[in-house]
Structure 1
C-alpha cells in the first residue's frame, strides 16, 4: 500500500537567488532531466488563436499542457502554474485532465500570462505529491522556455490546498527565497484534509441513520469512514439513485413524498449543506474516502465524530443516540496532517478569493486558513477577498485578471491589495470581460464551527 508519507524529492534542497527579476539558478529534479521536451500541439479553441500550446508527460507519469500567449518572452513574462481541483478521479492520471483545466482557465492566457498545469502523477488524494508534481512541471517549463520574470502559483479548490502546501514547501530553500513570487488561491479547500473533509464523515453517518441504504441492510457492512469496500462495484449512478429514492433530491420539491422531503431536510439541515451539493459530497465521502483511507493510509481512519452533537434533524436526541460514531487513529490523522495541513508560514504574498455561498468548499474554510496563517506569524502576507456568488468551479470572469493584477502589483511594487482595491481593478476589466464583478469588500466569513459541527480533538 502506498502511504501519504512520500520520499522528499531533491527539490527541497534547491537553492534560489533572493534578488529578482534575475533568474534563479537551481539544480533540477532527477525526473526533469529525464523528461522529453514538450511537444507542440494546436491550442483548444478557448485559448486565443495566436497562442502556442505544448503538451507532454514527465518522467513521474504526470501529463501536462502549457500555453504561451503571442509574443510571450520569459525575460518580461509571467508564468502561472496551475494546481487543479478535485481529486474527483481516483485512478491513474488522465492526459485529458490537464487539457480540461486549460480550457477552463484560458482566462489566464487571455490576460497575457503563460499557463502550465499538471494532472499530477495519479488521481486520488496526496497534497504534498501534487505540490511536488506542480514544481516538477515548473522546472520543465523553465528548462524549455526560460526563467520567467515572475512565477505565480494558482491553486483552485483542492488545488488551493496544494498551492498552500507548496507555498510552505518551496517558500524558502536553504534560507533563500524559492521559485514562486506569489500565490493565488481560489475557491480553496483549505486547512488540511482532516479538518476540511471531516464534515463528510458527518454526512455519511447522518445519511445512513436517515436512509439506511449506503450500505443497504443486505450488503456487507463496513465502517463508514472507509468510504466503500475495495471490491465494491457500486457506481456513481447507482448511489445517486439510492439518494434520490430516499430524499427525492433530483426531483422538484413538489414531486417529493412527505417522507422524502423530511429525510432530505434532516440531512441537509444537520450537515449544513445545500440540496444541490448532496450527491457530490456523498461521492467524495464514498470514492475519495476509499482512496484516502485504504490506499493512502493503510486502512486507517483519520476522522472522528466522537463528541459531535448534531442539531437540525427534527429529532436531535434520537439522532445523537443512534448515529454511528468513529474515533480517529492518531497516527493516521498525524500522517494526513503532515501531508496536507498548512503550518501558516508564508514567505511570499498570498491572495485568496472565495464565493460566499460556495456549495462545495465552505467559505468558513477561509477563517480556518486565516487563523493558521496568523498562528504561523504570516498574517501580513495574506489578503482574502470574497464575492457574492453561489458557484465553486469558476466565478465571474473579470475577477480573475483583477486578482492576477493585484497580486503582481503586490509582488512588483509592494502595493498590498485590499478587497476594495481588487474590486476597483475588477470594475476596470469589465469592459473587456463583461460585467461580472461581485466582490463584497466588507465581508468576513464566520468561524468554521458555524458550519461544521464541532467536536473535541
Structure 2
C-alpha cells in the first residue's frame, strides 16, 4: 500500500514545479546553433536557431520574385534574419513553391513550414509573422487565416491589399498606359490584355522607351498613379508583371471594368470614353478574391510600417488597408510613423524597433498608443 503522506507531498511538489515553469518558462537551449536548409515539396526553406534560444519563433515572409528568375539553392536568408537571431529568436523562412504573385502558395507554404518546425523542435512559446513587401500582405493574411497559431504579425512596406482590389488597381495602371501610349510596347492589345508576361528587364526597357520624349504623358500618368516621374517605368513594369501572373494563375481576366468610372486624369470624360474595357471571367474573379483574402480586421496584434516616398506601396495603397481596418474588428491594427526611404528601405535598427512594438503589445496585452 502506498504512503498517503508521501503521495500528497509528491503531488504538491509536482504542482509547485508546474506553477514555477508556467510562470517563468526556462530558457530554451540547443546543443549548437541550428542552420538548416531543405525542401518542403517544391518550396525551399531555412531554419535558424541561436544557441541561446528564447523559445520564440519568427517566421519571415519574403517579397515578390519575378517568374523565371534563377533560384539559388540553398536559398539565401532574408537580410533581416540576423536582427531576430541576435535577439534570441529562432527564424524560419520559406522560398515558396512558385514565383510571381505567389500569395496563395506562400500562405500554404508558411503554414507547412510552421508545422514542420513544431515536429522537429517542438512548439515555440510564441510565434510571430514578419513580412516585407508582398510578404507583408502574406503575413497579414496568414494572421487572419491562422489566428490561433500566431501571437501577432509585423508588416513592413507591405502590399496589404485584398486580391480583388489589387487586381483592379493594377489594371488601372495598365489601361491608362495603353490609353496614352496605345501599342507603344509592340504587344498585341497593349499591356492590359492577359498574356504571358515578358521578363522584367524587357518590360522596363520597352516602357521606358515608350515614355522617353513624352514628358507630358509621363507627368500625367505619374500624378494619376501617385508616383515620382522617374519611378514610373519601374512601377508600370512591376504592375504589368504582377497582373499578368495573376491572370495566368486565375485562368482568365480577373477584373471586369466595363462599368468602372475612372477619375484622376486631366480629362476624365475623354479617358472613360476611350479607355479599354474588359469583361471579367467569373472563375478568375473568384480566384483573385482569395489572392489574398484579406479583411483588414485581424483578431491578433498587427503592426504596420511603411516607408517615406515609396514608389511601390504609395499612400493610395496604404489607405486601402486603413479604410478596411477602420471599418471595425476586434483588434485594430497599429500603423507606425513612416521610416526609411524608398521601397523597404529600413535599417536593421528600424526593423528591430518596429518588431519590439509588436512584442510589447503581445506581452502586455495593451495596444500601444
Q: TM-score, normalised by structure 1?
A: 0.67
Partner secondary structure for residue 108 of structure 2: helix
Shift of 1:242: 2.4
Q: Which has the larger radius of gyration?
A: 2
Of 144-153 and 282-291, the range deviating more from structure 2: 282-291
**Equivalent residue for 1:143, pick from 119, 128, 150:** 119
Let me know the Cα RMSD of the aligned residues.
Answer: 2.9
Structure 1 residue corresponding to 2:39, chosen from 48, 51, 57: 57
Residues matched between the structures, number: 342
For residue 64 of structure 1, report the CA deviation from its aligned partner: 0.9
Residues 64-92 of structure 1 show CA distances to partners (whole Å, capped at 9, x for unaligned) of 112223322xxx33211011111x32259
Aligned to 2:11: none
1:22 and 1:279 map into 2 onto residues whose CA distance is 54
CA contact under 8 A between 1:64 and 1:118: conserved in structure 2?
A: yes
Checking the alignment, whether the CA contact within 8 Å between 1:352 and 1:382 is kept in structure 2 is: yes
Distance 1:235 1:182, change over 3 A: closer
Alignment match, 1:406? 357
Q: Is the alpha carbon distance of 1:77 and 1:282 closer, same or farther for their aligned partners in structure 2, counting shifts above 3 Å?
A: same
Confirm or deny: 8 A CA contact 2:61 2:135 kept in the other structure. Answer: yes
Contact 2:61 2:136 in 1 (8 A): yes
Q: Out of 62, 67, 88, which is 1:90 matched to?
A: 67
* Corresponding residue number in structure 1 for 2:158: 188
Residues 393, 140 of structure 1: CA spacing in aligned structure 2 closer, same or farther, 3 A cutoff?
Answer: same
Residue of structure 2 in register with 1:123 after alignment? 99
Alpha-carbon deviation of 1:106? 2.9
Q: Aligned partners of 1:150 and 1:301: how far apart in 2?
A: 38
Cα deviation 1:220-247 (Å, max 9, x = unaligned): 3368241xx33x7x44333323222232
**Are 2:339 and 2:350, in contact at CA under 8 Å, matched by a contact in 1?**
no
Tell me, yes or no, if the aligned pair for 2:299 and 2:329 is still in contact at 8 Å: no
Q: Residue by residue, what CA displacement relative to the aligned partner does 1:110-158 show, whole Å, maximum 9, x if unpaired?
A: 3332211101111123423211111111122222223222110112211
Q: Distance in 2 between matches of 1:270 and 1:366?
A: 16
CA shift in 2, pair 1:336/1:22, >3 Å? farther
Say if 1:311 and 1:412 are closer, same or farther in 2 by CA, change over 3 A.
closer
Gaps of 5+ in 2: 1-21, 26-31
Query: What is the TM-score of this pair, normalised by structure 2?
Result: 0.81
How far, CA to CA, are the matches of 2:257 and 2:74 in structure 1? 32
1:282 is aligned to: 236
